Amino acid sequence: MTLCALHPIDSTSYVPHALHGAERSWAETNCYIDVWVEVLHALKLNPVACLSMVFANDFDGDQWTFYKPPHEDLFALYGIDVQELNVWRGLLHNASEQLRRGRLVLTETDSYYLPDTAGTDYRNNHVKTTIAIQEIDLANQRLGYFHNSSYHHLQGEDFVATFRLGYPHNPEFMPLFAEFVRLDRIVHRGDSELAQISLSLLRKHMTRRPVSNPVMQFLPVFLSDVEGLKIAGMEAYHAYAFATLRQLGAGFSLGAHQLRWLQSQTHGDFARAADDFEAISETTKTLLLKTARAVMSKRDVDLTPLVEQLAQHWQAGMDNLALSLQNADATSQSGIA
């Protein structure tokens, strides 16, 4: 018996959303937003509309914000309702129940058992990540799931390990966090209507942006961290880069993409702000490579100018975006008058 929240999906022919296209600067961002991009894409919904939360991203001391689309944004844009799944009978049983009801299940899991991570984590590293379960074939122990930039299948031993079959009540095992996604109230809006809702969400997230320039707060911490990474080595660098530089660069790359989409759908002028945030993305990629070389060679490299450029782009982007929103409001008010 096969349970599907949506419909059977062929992982060999699945075409990811353009946000995960080969031409993108950051093909993957973080596991949670990447999953939502593909889930929305599979539902024939436009994921670009839900990206405005990135403009509230901040430096949080030892990481940049691990940004996620807020549940209230998903409901406002698409009518999608996300609730926590109480995994009290074991993930397989509880997830199967939700799939029977036509609901997707998002769950934290161990990428050690995800074959789509072959070459990195699969059977090499135990790393927490998020997948969206949309298909379970109980008889053949086969799972269909969204992860990172596409749709995949796993089966056999990976299925057993992912659902911990045979030892679900091990007192040493703590169930990972899971959510179910109600799809019975989905609204398919046109881009013009979506953009108006997205614009209001952008205003909301702009009120939550950092009060002071977070890149300047990041600068002294980053320079100190690089010296520590030279001692810790490349494995530590990869974990550090994901938590900091990738979230910074990839996040504002998504933000720039959304602003260009908003400009195409509204009367707002977001081009200058989009250019500033795209500059953050490209400069961060350069910084990522230079930092890796510094860690590998253990040489002194002056990374301060690049971080200062990032700070300038952040400030200019936020100033230009705030001005664009003010002008859009004024235009709207004059239209009403």
Q: pLDDT tens across 280-306, in order?
A: 999 999 999 999 999 999 999 999 999
- Predicted confidence band of residue 333 (pLDDT cuts 50, 70, 90): low
Report CA-CA distances (Å) from 105 to 54, 87, 102.
24, 11, 10
What is the predicted pLDDT for the residue at 171? 64
Closest CA to 168 of 239, 87, 241, 225: 87
Query: How many CA atoms lie less than 13 Å away from 311 in the CB half-sphere?
Result: 16
**Residue 77 to residue 43: CA distance in whole angstroms:** 13
- Predicted confidence band of residue 172 (pLDDT cuts 50, 70, 90): low
- Determine the Cα angle at 189 with ends 255 and 267, to 5°: 55
CB neighbours of 29 closer than 8 A, spacing ≥ 6? 246, 247, 250, 251, 253, 254
What is the predicted pLDDT for the residue at 166? 72
What is the predicted pLDDT for the residue at 299? 93
For 14, phi and psi rounded to 5 degrees? -65, 135
**Residue 51 to residue 67: CA distance in whole angstroms:** 9
**Residue 259 to residue 295: CA distance in whole angstroms:** 35
Q: Is the pLDDT of residue 78 over 50?
A: yes
Q: Is the pLDDT of residue 264 over 60?
A: yes
At residue 189, the 3 state secondary structure works out as coil
Pair type for strands 2-4 and 81-84:
unpaired
Q: List pLDDT tens digits, range 134-163.
A: 999 999 999 999 999 999 999 999 999 999
**Residue 74 to residue 66: CA distance in whole angstroms:** 17
What is the predicted pLDDT for the residue at 175? 77
Asked whether 77 and 194 are in contact (CB, 8 A), the reply is yes
At residue 82, the 3 state secondary structure works out as strand
Q: List pLDDT tens digits, range 203-258.
A: 999 999 999 999 999 999 999 999 999 999 999 999 999 999 999 999 999 999 99
Computed over every residue of the chain, the mean pLDDT equals 94
What is the predicted pLDDT for the residue at 291? 98
What is the predicted pLDDT for the residue at 335? 52
Asked whether 26 and 185 are in contact (CB, 8 A), the reply is no
Beta bridge partners of 106: 132, 179
Q: List pLDDT tens digits, range 98-124.
A: 999 999 999 999 999 999 999 999 999
What is the predicted pLDDT for the residue at 337? 42
Q: Tell the residue number behind the tokens 């599907």, with chain if given.
A: 4
Mean pLDDT of all residues in 5-17: 96
Mean pLDDT of all residues in 185-206: 97
Mean pLDDT of all residues in 316-324: 97
Mean pLDDT of all residues in 315-330: 92
Q: How far is CA 295 from the centre of its chain?
A: 27
What is the predicted pLDDT for the residue at 174? 74
CB neighbours of 213 closer than 8 A, spacing ≥ 6? 311, 314, 315
Q: Could you give the angle at which helices 71-78 and 191-206 cross, rounded to 10 degrees?
A: 160
Lowest mean pLDDT among 29-38, 160-169, 243-252, 302-311: 160-169
At residue 146, the 3 state secondary structure works out as strand
Q: Is the pLDDT of residue 73 over 90?
A: yes
Q: Tell the residue number behind the tokens 């024939």, with chain if given.
A: 44
Mean pLDDT of all residues in 84-93: 95
